Amino acid sequence: MTLSGPVFIVGVLMAVAGILQVLRRWTGLMAWASVAVTGAVGALIALVPLDQTFTLGPLSVAPGEPFVLLGRVVVIDAVDRLPLMFICFTALGLFIVAWRLLPHSNFYPAGLAIVALLAGALMVQQVVYAALLVEMAVILGIFPLHEPVIGPDGSRYGGQARGGLQYMTYATLALPGLMITQLLLEQFAIFPSDLGLLQSATILLGLSFAMLLGAVPFQSWLSTVATDGSPPVVTFLFTVTLGTVWFLLLAYLEAYSWLSDQAAFSSLFTVVGLLMMVVGGVLAASQRKLGRIVGYATLVDNGAMFVALGTHQTAGLALTAVMLAARPFSLALMTLGLDGMRRLGQGDDHVDRLVGAAWTAPWRTLAFMVGGVAMAGFPLSLGFSARWGLYRLLTQTNLFQAILALGGSAGVMMGLVSTMRVLLAANRGQVPAKQSTEDPIVLVLIIALIGATLVLGVFPQLVSQLALQMAQEFTFFAQ
Amino acid sequence: MNPFVVWLESFSRFVSLPAAWGIFVAGAVIYVINAWRIRFLALVVQYLFIGVLFTRVFDTRPEMAIMKITVGWLICGALLVSARYRSQALPGSRQLVRWAANLPFRVLILAAGTVIAWLASQRFALPFVSADLGLACLLLTVLAILFFGTEEADPGVVGVGILNLLAALDIFYSAQDPGLLVTGLLVVVNLLVGLATSYLMVTEVAT
């Protein structure tokens, strides 16, 4: 029996997700099974050529073979391989991070199902199905996002619903635009002289992606999700789910070249991106809650990616890919730090509740700071290399834009510094003077992630070559 | 053609405009009355009217409309269970009928929304759908926006708003592309929204 690649990938991920849902008692088993299956799927996509078939017992799998369901085509194209690898390997890393943070959580089965749905969205050819699959992935993410966290002493916190509710609302508001775009494109195929259809499709597609990516003025869900949600799941949503949305945007720019050919494309992306960076920077600088800093740092990062695309150059596209690759490292570190701080504050991450927390939980504080510095795009981190490249690219055409972009990043840094002042102050009794012994595995994870961040900061070419290669596969800026 | 289908088609043509307004009245009840039992009944009635409208969209396949009603009622059931749990956990929320706290404001907003939706349906006809279906889509969208903007802490109200928006999209999109795959995926999305809303209603008070 021969299975096509899409059926195998989605089927395996969904099957394991189903099995893990009944094995929630065994956290280690769930975490490592999730790691194994995402690793295997990622390796399959990376290593097996699309035109070859491989055998697994009685099954033959043909990765490049399309799967047709009621006339709709699902296929792994060459350009899909890197996005698929990105979501699989990022999910793998986050399952390891979550192993010690989320005992008995439904994050593992839900995470696998989300990866399956997002992989389906990347592989399916029509916009409408991709939009519906992303919507499903977003809704599935809400279950682990608001799962109450149980502390080692049995205390429970979390479970506030606002973040997930806002996220679900914005994702649903984005859905009509994407689905109607499909109708307009079908109409345009029949009436190719009606350019009004294309203009309407451009506006709808732009608005929908703005909502899905949290562009200003639709940014409120980013900070609310980061404040109310479980930190590892927030990181999953901001890297795997948002990463997929970015790759879908690139895929549509590639498939519908008239989108990037619009006269306003560059200026629109640049203005939206700079607005996101400035607003995110200003808001991050004035935050007193650690979770909100994570949200606004992500807003600034998304803005930087928009600005990079707005340069209308292949180098800008490569910078977008580098920023996307850097995000899992920095956000995973911030997650580990934020989780520790929330535990210290009994679920509250307001800095006034965490005065002197750095002396009680030094490693968690270090993780939050290093992750935050990387997210803000300051040295030494992969994020810095990408942002530096962006400033240089912007300076060639407009120095003022480069200064604005730098200002946005500096805002995140200011938020981190003012937070750090409070965390490093003398302990006034809000947090316990001595923390119960830190989990050694969490310590190892923190050290490994800090090491990886520094190494990639010193040798960014390890990632940038891959990003450039990916950027060259997209031809919409070359036309 | 099957005589039942012919009868159903003429029936749905006759009742679709009243059904559009019925959807709005049911939504208005959910908006102005802050009591989960009444809201549950109103939502059940709203899904019945939505199903009636779907008989116009799927005029040769009435089973699809029945499926939409069944799924809607399943969601109502899930929301009912969560609302009961929530009302037991929160003190002072077990009254049978309780008007929304800012009732005059809500009535005013509702009236303004109705006028806007009505005028919009008269002046800007939605493409691909008949006038009564277009009116229903606009009324559902107005309701969704009102539910999104509510100051209530209950996630169930925003969840109903999301479901109303999805219903509007479903009617509009299915009228143009009544394909089985899109319909099936939209059903799954609706179910997931219902489940997620129920989950959020419970998890917020359980912690």
- The DSSP secondary structure of A64-124, one letter per residue, reads T--EEETTEEE---GGGHHHHHHHHHHHHHHHHHHHTTSTT-THHHHHHHHHHHHHHHHHB
Distances (CA, A) of B83 to A157, B86, B91, B154: 21, 5, 13, 9
Q: Is the pLDDT of residue A43 over 90?
A: yes
Mean pLDDT of A113-120: 96
Of chain A, the percentage scoring pLDDT greater than 70 comes to 96
User: Could you tell me if A128 lies within 8 Å of chain B, comparing CB atoms?
Assistant: yes
Confidence tier at A116 by pLDDT (50, 70, 90): very high
More confident call, A273 vs A438: A273
Q: What share of chain A is helix, strand, coil (3-state, %, to 5)?
A: 75, 5, 20
**A311 contact partners, CB below 8 Å, separation of at least 6:** A266, A270, A393, A394, A397
Q: Does A168 touch chain B (CB under 8 A)?
A: yes
From chain A, the residues in CB contact with B200 under 8 A are: 142, 146, 161, 164-165
* Chain B contact for A268 (CB, 8 A cutoff): no
Confidence band, pLDDT 50/70/90 cuts, at residue A112: very high
Residue A192 Cα, gap to closest chain B Cα (Å): 18
Q: Is the pLDDT of residue B86 over 70?
A: yes
Predicted TM-score of the model (pTM): 0.92
Order of all β-strands in the sheet with A2-4: A2-4, A59-62, A54-56
Coil, helix or strand for A349?
coil
Phi, psi of A67 (to 5 degrees): -110, 125
Are B207 and A165 a contacting pair at CB < 8 A? no
Q: What does the alpha-carbon distance between residue A188 and residue B109 come to, in Å, rounded to a whole number?
A: 38
In this structure, are residues B165 and B141 in contact, taking their beta carbons and an 8 Å threshold?
Answer: yes
Is the pLDDT at A479 greater than 60? The verdict is: no
Quick one: how far is CA B37 from the chain centroid? 16
Among A107-111, A254-258, B75-79, name the one with the lowest average pLDDT. Answer: A254-258
Tokens at residue A230, please? 């479980």
Considering only alpha carbons, which residue of chain B is nearest residue A163?
B200
Taking CB atoms and an 8 Å cutoff, what residues of chain B touch A143? 196, 199
Average pLDDT (A157-166) is 82
Q: Would you call B44 an interface residue with chain A, using a CB distance cutoff of 8 Å? A: no
A contacts of B180 (beta carbons < 8 Å): 70
Nearest CB to B200; choose among A128, A165, A175: A165
CB A19 within 8 A of CB A11: no
Residue B152 has pLDDT above 80, yes or no: no
Most confident residue range from A205-209, A233-237, B15-19, B123-127: A233-237
> Which of the listed ranges A435-439, A460-464, B13-17 does the model predict with the highest average pLDDT?
A460-464
A146 in reach of chain B (CB within 8 A):
yes
pLDDT of residue B14: 73
For residue A418, the model assigns a pLDDT of: 92
Q: Choose the closest CB to B148 out of A159, A169, A175.
A: A169
Mean pLDDT of B127-142: 89
CB contact under 8 A, A158 and B207: yes
Model pLDDT, residue A56: 81
Give percent above pLDDT 90 in chain A.
50
